[in-house]
Amino acid sequence: MRFSRFMLFVTILLFAVHSLNAQTLTVKSPDESVAVSVNVGKEIHWSVSKSGKKVLSPSKIMLNSSRGAFGSNPVLVSQNKRTVSRILKPAVAEKRSEVKDNFQELVLNFKGQWSLEFRVYNDGAAYRFKTDLPGEQIIKSETAQFNFPEDHKLYFPEENSMITHQEREYLHTSLSKIDSMRFCSIPALIAPTNAPKVILTESDLRDYPGFYLQGNGAKSLEAVFPNYVLESHIRAAGKGDRVPVVDKRADYIAETKGSRAFPWRVVGIAQADEDLIDSQLVWKLASPCELEDTSWIKPGKVAWDWYNANNIFGVDFKAGVNTKTYKYFIDFASEYGIDYIILDEGWYVLKDLTTPAEDMNLPELFSYAEKKDVGIILWMTWHTLNEQFEQVMPMFEKWGAEGLKVDFMQRDDQWMVNFYEKVAKEAAKRHLLVDFHGSYKPSGLRRAYPNVITREGVRGGEQNKWSEYANPEHNITLPFTRMYAGPLDYTPGAMVNAQKDNFAERFERPMSLGTRCHQLAMYVIFESPLQMLCDSPSLYYQEPECMKFLSAVPTVWDETDVLDAEIAEYAVVARKSGEEWYLGAMTDWSKRELQADLSFLNEGSYTAHIWKDGANADRYASDYAYIKKKVTSSDNLKIDLASGGGFAARFIPE
């Protein structure tokens, strides 16, 4: 009994000594509104506040490596702080041509040759591990907790497997309802009623698996990772050239270098809902551009075939996957200044990228496209590309392809993350753009390799072909959630539009949910430097007024100004390109009357070209009105939105 009391006394004494040795270090954002506190004791925890209000409660940080448990009984050796204020000029301007990068940094160096780096911005905070060890290491696990002070509401893109396209609906639920059996892909948005919004994601994901968020039925989310893949195959069912099946995983998450920086764990903070649309935190945290020359990277619009199933009409030949049909696409693109066309599924004999389909004369098509100043982007499954990589990459360059659309990866374990970078790097050597489909969310690779110009990882417009998922309520959630991570290849531009009560799923002749102007507004609100025109050229030819907008609207921007927004309700966004401004507005299923203050315009008069919901858009969703009027920066523009509606405007200075 005495011995037990003695051991209890020793334990309490050791705990007290350890507590005395614990340190709390702080670092604040440049405007001092965001504060990060790091407690270094037996473990490491960090917390975050905004304007004095706690947004992240103490949350554990740890990296469990074969070379040490980084974060268990840490010994702090030194710390460094610095302030950075600079202007970055992106090779591809998703939101603006100049990006302000202003943060305070705290680096904590620990015994054992590892460190933690914290960066604090006015709109968020992030941390990452660094190790400086010889040789290699195995990462057994990583602990990244996100504990919250209350049971907040959240937007949760729930997954049921880590073999996923990450094309999820954002479920509106609460933290307490997410138990340990439920997990989601990221970004995930925590949306308190009377506190800043918090969005969780990552940046600079390289040579490491992506993470997901798992609940515990309380007020906490924690990162979970796909384990390292040891054995896999392609599912034989179906077309047998695309769907990955993991047969065996290791009991660790990564095999990697001993000396490296790990991905950033990002906590974005939005005082107002519109701040979520405006933020570029993920891009700023990513590795700088690794390409010496980016002048060849050409953002633009793409005429897309797969959504409309090559359903062209009014021609004297059989439409389909054949040379004549794609010449028609090229003619359409050339006439309207559309930069690219895609040859999607069917152009090659599946499982063999070196063999074009019987009715496809590729030399003729590439020659024709070059004469018309239209680029060709080639779709392919990732597995076939990987199997024939060394053979086909120089072949695509020789043909004169402008880009690759790589599809069906459905994984973000370490091997697959590295495959993305391999494709990006080798494509850049050959001046090829890359559009990743069937992909995970953007995580910063596009900054290091800006030829990775867009990606899917979003429940987008193709869903119209088989479901009601791509509806206005979902669409207006995306700018505040998935788009926070980076560009989204949603594929807008549907010319057949429907309201709820007259929508039908039609795989080969699809229609969209919401109004025609809801589709047009996506070109301003949804960011994608390679933006699709999803519908049939034959339908676009019948819509000359809409093509006045679609042929002119840019895909990259010099400035962005979010005028008004409410998560999952509506958004009003203005963007500038050259001397012109564009305005887009979208709503959910609610009819709305909004106002746009035009003070973002420069001095002088502008001609406003306006596409707005028609008087009968609430029952016939394709109804719209096109008007022109004179405006100045002192004007307010009334925006009437039908149910599922939208609004688009182009302002040309006089």
Instruction: Write phi, then psi, for 237 (nearest 5 degrees).
Output: -65, 160
Query: For 543-550, which contacts have Cβ atoms below 8 Å and span 24 or more sequence positions?
Result: 543/495, 545/611, 545/626, 546/495, 546/516, 546/520, 546/611, 546/624, 547/336, 548/609, 548/626, 549/520, 549/523, 549/609, 549/611, 549/648, 549/650, 550/301, 550/336, 550/493, 550/520, 550/523
Beta-strand relationship, 375-381 and 403-407: parallel
Omega of the bond prior to 134 within 30 degrees of 0, cis? no
Catalytic positions are 407, 462
Residue 557 to residue 259: CA distance in whole angstroms: 37
State the maximum Cα–Cα separation within the chain, in Å, rounded to a whole number: 100
Residue whose C-alpha is closest to residue 510's, from 544, 473, 536: 536
Residue 324 to residue 254: CA distance in whole angstroms: 48
- Classified as helix, coil or strand, 551 is coil
Residue 477 to residue 571: CA distance in whole angstroms: 10
Tell me 589's DSSP state: S
Residue 260 to residue 266: CA distance in whole angstroms: 18
Residue 123 to residue 87: CA distance in whole angstroms: 17
Q: Are 497 and 522 in contact (CB under 8 A)?
A: no
Sign of CA dihedral 211, 212, 215, 219: positive
- Classified as helix, coil or strand, 293 is coil
Q: Are 47 and 56 in contact (CB under 8 A)?
A: yes
Q: List, in order, residues 6 or more apart from 456 with CB less than 8 Å away.
A: 165, 167, 435, 436, 437, 438, 439, 488, 489
Helix (H) / strand (E) containing 568: none
CA separation (Å) from 623 to 472, 498, 519, 611, 648?
16, 10, 12, 10, 14
Residue 516 to residue 519: CA distance in whole angstroms: 5
Q: Are 221 and 57 in contact (CB under 8 A)?
A: no
Q: List, in order, residues 6 or more apart from 340 with CB less than 8 Å away.
A: 300, 301, 302, 303, 333, 374, 375, 376, 377, 402, 403, 530
Beta-strand relationship, 99-110 and 114-121: antiparallel
Q: Are 516 and 623 in contact (CB under 8 A)?
A: yes
Q: Are 634 and 590 in contact (CB under 8 A)?
A: no
Q: Are 620 and 564 in contact (CB under 8 A)?
A: no
Sign of CA dihedral 557, 559, 563, 565: positive
Going through 271-415 in order, the beta strands assigned E by DSSP cover: 300-303, 340-343, 375-381, 403-407
